[in-house]
Structure 1
């Protein structure tokens, strides 16, 4: 690592050229995968514990929506800065220090809850700090992955990472319910510990993670970096459309997740039942992560995208009508199995399209745009749930999701999905790109 915070090392993507080897034999990838997996497990535990804490303390779906939104607002506020930093300072340093800040914030939440402090403003502020650290860290995640695995294995690595995260949620959802039932502070302490492992995993990666620097080159300011990433996304139809579409999808999905917890609670489920319903649903995510690469190899990506979206629409209607918590879980299992390939497709094509020197900035701008409306989902869903009932709120979200599915049929911006992901050519670097 140099004094300016950058790292030295080979500029090419992935490990050195050679025979294709299993990702599980790539030590750096395994360390990256395991560290992020433990962090994802802890996050899934606290994600279910935060709304449970407020629901059981106040009974208000709207207040539960506020604390859920707080983390998202914190993440959104720092996502663009995180992407710019990923292209100018050591990504390794970011991946080590970011989780340490998150560990401190979640540890403070655990301490406050242990002392009986349930003030919404305090818990929301700490959740916002953890989210802000997440936003900084996330800017280095995909650029670092590009250095750890070869480009031809990006799709496989992306699918495995999503499968890992889904598996973590499968375990974390019931674990969060169990820990919450045992002690309300326990889920947050578990999340704090998980971030320590994420930091350790990043520290153990041997390969330089970048960014690379040209000696003597002048680096533009962070504002110009962010603007360059924005222009890159704006000027390419696929990136522009997917950012807007996923932003709306995330708002609907986050609102749906909050309503799901309230729906199971209103139908007689205790915290453990809520956790196991979420786990049952997330098993579908693991299945989806497995079938995602298979779908990419056998059918057009755009066809898979359309099927995923319409299955998700139908799940809203069925979930609102079935009476038993286990039936809700079964329906969501199918829905999440359909939705994960959608995420695999969109992310894999973006990684293939964006050149390395723009990957941090474009990834951050894309993530910022995709998360820009996410925080509104829990707030709107909480308001609708208190005003019209949870079942009515789910049906309102179904109508919005149907409109998003129709948009996939009408747009011309997804023509790149007609090509196999391995055949997609990288977009050219703008002539005015900074180095």
Structure 2
């Protein structure tokens, strides 16, 4: 793989479209005057924007090789620190091991539009890294700096409502990733008084949302998504609602993948809602299980305890190869029980495994408890394809999130007695 990077770097040096950009990058890193830094940063941005998509892999390969630490300097600094571990030698070692491309990224960020440009660059880089894993060394530097610059302490939380700008509302429609917004009427329903939408914004990105969450204010923990999206607004519900259901969370910036924002957003929104509506007692989610059917399709060795349940669900799926809503609704009691038991097994026993459900990992690591498994909760085409209609509630007990987070770190999944009973019922 390193040979490929070196080959791409050599190619970049002789490429009339890439070489001028690399020259500007070298100048930007070495320049000491602030005015020149600003001018060069703008130049780098403009040249990257003009770079053909097919040349970008060579550019990032050059960042991986030409802008890496000097190995001899690192070894010398490490030996000095090993021989004499003083603060001065530690500082020198720290400077030696930092890749020059980190300073390049910092300086690009200072230019107008630099932050947005870096997010776009990282998005390009992540796509290219799939075919060239050696580029991950460059991505690690992007992620390191973006995690600092997008620290939740720097972000602005705002409620999105029907009075928000049309441009922002269009972005909410476009970026909704869990339950598609079919148009303006659908969006308007999600912004009624018994619903809420909150988003994080960064001061350098204006009105471009980073991530947003949709919340339903209801009387009880929701067990299906359709009533939350379709029922008639209750203008008086503010005073009667005792439960806040987080039913959709969507990332708007692919370049921020790996930067933890969703957990802070949920906790901050829960705090704000509690201050606004003190009668709220329960904070929970109604979440999809996007990995369930893929897990059901996989081969699982040493899983004899669950074989009968698997066989029962497999026979139903063979009889219903392309199930529709009415097929799921007509599922008999034994198959339903088997499906619920397998889902509990998947979420409780498999959330730390390589094929664990990503939504489950997010909420469990965030300190939530797996509270309830709901049958026929999402009968949309997507819901049936992902999980045969199942959805789950994760409970956010604000006073227990830190304890439950630590439990998940210790490879234990916090789950309710109801889920425990379902899991033990293997539908033999």
- Bin for the TM-score computed over the shorter chain: under 0.3
| TM-score where L is the length of structure 1 | 0.22
Between the two structures, name the one with larger relative contact order (CA 8 Å, sep ≥ 6). Answer: 1
The structure in which a higher percent of residues are helix is 1
The structure in which a higher percent of residues are strand is 2
